[in-house]
Amino acid sequence: MKNNSTYKFFLSCALAAASLTTATAQNDSAIIKKDITIEKEYTPSIKDAGKINDLPSIKEPVLKPTEVKYSDYSVALDPEYKVRQLDAARLKIPENNQDKKGFLRLGFGNYLGTLGDLVLPIIQKPKYGLDLNVNHKGIFDGHDGNQHHKSDASINFDRFFKEGKLFVNGGYSYRGFNYYGENKLFKDTLYSIENGTMKGKDFFYGNMGIHTWSAAAGYKSYPDNDLVNSLSASIAYDGFMPNEGLTQHQINTNIAYKRSVTSDNWGVGFNMQNYIFGDKNLDQTYSKEEGFTLVNFNPYYQFMRDRWDLRLGVNLNISTSGRAFAPTPDVKGTVTIVRNTLFFYAGLEGDYNTNSMSDMVDMCHYINLNEKVKSTWTPLDLKAGFKIKILYNLLTDLSIEYRMIKDQYFLVSDSANNAALGKVATNVFTPIYTDANVFTANFRTTYDYNNILNFLLSAKYHKWYADLEKDDMKAYNMPNFEFNFATMLKMGKHMAADLGLYIATGREALRVDGTTRKLSPIYDLNLGFYYNYNSKLSLFLKLNNILHRHYEQWYCYEVNGINGLVGLTYSF
């Protein structure tokens, strides 16, 4: 897919102007997640995440394993997906705090790029709050005519109690894009098929629109004074309907209970996912997917000591489709070797991922939406590493990870059968499956100097093993080396600049004829400039893909060349 740097750029700018943002890296391949708390007399911040998941912090390192995934580069917009939901624009209402304001962000760029975000507190009371969140980003005239836009709106209600918080929210989103990837047929030429002729363009997908709905309700308790009990429960619905493809309805029920016992604690989690599929817009050549239920039960006990902690648990996954029983370990711990300086962590974990339609579109929206990707079971995920903090504001993380995966998928070009031509490549991607093992070595260091200069430097090496060779396959579209550098410099109270460089090499694509082609390395350089005009208004300029490289993020989908976005952020 052409992961257009302009898209990366849009979210970059959006995140750049995000006010009082706190980046969180729950896992290194995830979306950049930020929340905004807008206080009275708030001055729009010029912090920007650039291409990093979390801004370098001078705080004590959290003594728990860092999630190590095969791909942790976090560009402002992950290359696999051009337009992501912007968590940075979501207002997080603090309990009993009425000093909140609205937030507006607008941006415009080349390739007819647009960006807009609005956070509007509707009701602000000590015990409850209601706010509206509207986001838009899009490109309408990209390289090779690629177009992609996404707009969403949500409304969120919170009711605060002495013991906890009740929340209710709902939202709607629409994403539109075109399949602009190069195909191997002439669009207006007639080709022979079994029952007549067909134009080349009829073998390929055109414009696509995807509607999604969401609703959730739940309760989360605050820990009591003795930190003895904690309870949370929620139920959420997500609807997914493309113009062509499977309709998916997902209901997720979650309950978690935790109880402290002196310095230790124990807990149990319950999660149930229900999937229902519809065939209203399904291509007639595909069969409707059968619905299924997945239940996860996670009991654990955690020992908490002065210089070490250890969590002993298990995930019991039971499914009515695919693997009926797929247990995984949940064991992890940390040891302080030198207090405040050297820490060792290790984990023996696993995962069972249902690969929902919405998750797959977030990862690659050029995937064939007429069939659901199989669930992926990781029975073993072994990781270990050291966190080293020689200086108070310099943290280095060295780690290795080895994963065994069942039904690992790799996305390859889909094909259509033609009587005269045999198989021809279409412009969508379909998964192929195999069992696989992958080894990852990771280096990561962050530094912060008085919140004036900070940087992140990371490198990852990935090696795939085992059944890939047996099945005569490769880790298609997966890089074997990744490098990421990001830095930000504040210049006085009003100005700041950032720079980011991402490199990925070793990716290969599978052709329809069974041969492979090595994709060009990714060299993606980005710059950002930010200026606070006053306590309410800030301006930003972002330049992406400065090297003007039209690399393929997916086979036959090139990214845009150099692109830019200018905009403003206003609080009210």
546: left (phi over 0), alpha (psi -120 to 50) or beta: alpha
Residue 348's contacts (CB-CB under 8 Å, 6 or more residues apart) are: 329, 331, 332, 380, 381, 382
Parallel/antiparallel/unpaired status of strands 563-571 and 103-109: antiparallel
CB 281 within 8 A of CB 249: no
pLDDT score at 197 = 76
Q: What share of the chain is helix, strand, coil (3-state, %, to 5)?
A: 5, 60, 35
pLDDT score at 561 = 87
pLDDT score at 41 = 27
Token pair recorded at residue 122: 């509707």
Q: Residue 162 gets which letter from DSSP? A: S
pLDDT score at 556 = 85
Phi and psi, residue 455, nearest 5°: -155, 160
Beta strands in 419-521 (DSSP E): 422-449, 453-465, 481-491, 495-505, 508-510, 516-518
CB 360 within 8 A of CB 378: no
| Exposure b/e, 11-43, CB count within 10 A at least 16 = b | bbbbbbbbbbbbbebeebbbbbbbbbbbeeebb
List C-alpha distances in Å: 480 to 139, 219, 356, 443, 519: 30, 43, 26, 14, 12
pLDDT score at 7 = 40
**Residue among 78, 3, 18, 63 at smallest CA distance from 332:** 63
Beta strands in 288-393 (DSSP E): 292-304, 308-319, 328-338, 342-353, 376-391
Opening angle at CA 507, ends 501 and 509, nearest 5: 140
> pLDDT tens digits for the chain (572 residues)?
334 443 443 333 333 333 222 222 322 222 222 222 222 222 233 333 222 222 222 222 222 222 222 222 222 222 222 222 222 222 222 233 334 478 899 999 998 889 999 999 999 888 999 999 999 998 888 766 788 899 999 999 999 998 889 999 999 999 999 888 766 666 677 777 666 777 766 767 778 999 999 999 999 988 665 557 889 999 999 999 999 999 999 999 999 999 988 888 999 999 999 999 999 999 887 889 999 999 999 999 999 999 999 999 999 999 998 899 999 999 999 999 998 899 999 999 999 999 999 999 988 999 999 999 999 999 999 999 999 998 878 999 999 999 999 999 999 988 766 656 666 667 889 999 999 999 999 999 999 888 889 999 999 999 998 777 676 788 999 999 999 999 999 998 899 999 999 999 999 998 877 888 999 999 999 999 999 888 889 999 999 899 999 898 888 888 888 888 999 998 88
pLDDT score at 183 = 61
pLDDT score at 146 = 80
* Domains in the chain: boundaries: 5-571
Count of Cβ atoms closer than 10 Å to residue 350 Cβ: 23
pLDDT score at 193 = 67
H or E element that contains 392: none
pLDDT score at 531 = 92
Q: How far apart are the first and last CA of the chain?
A: 39
pLDDT score at 226 = 59
Parallel/antiparallel/unpaired status of strands 481-491 and 495-505: antiparallel
Q: How would DSSP label each residue in 294-316?
A: EEEEEEEEEEE-SSEEEEEEEEE
Q: Please, is 489 exposed, middle or buried when counting C-beta atoms within 10 Å of its C-beta (0-12, 13-18, 19+)? A: middle
Residue 126's contacts (CB-CB under 8 Å, 6 or more residues apart) are: 96, 98, 160
pTM of the model: 0.79
CB half-sphere exposure, 287, CA atoms < 13 A: 3
Identity at 502, one-letter amino acid code: Y
Phi and psi, residue 514, nearest 5°: 95, -10
pLDDT score at 420 = 62
The hierarchical CATH code for the domain 5-571 is 2.40.170.20
pLDDT score at 251 = 97
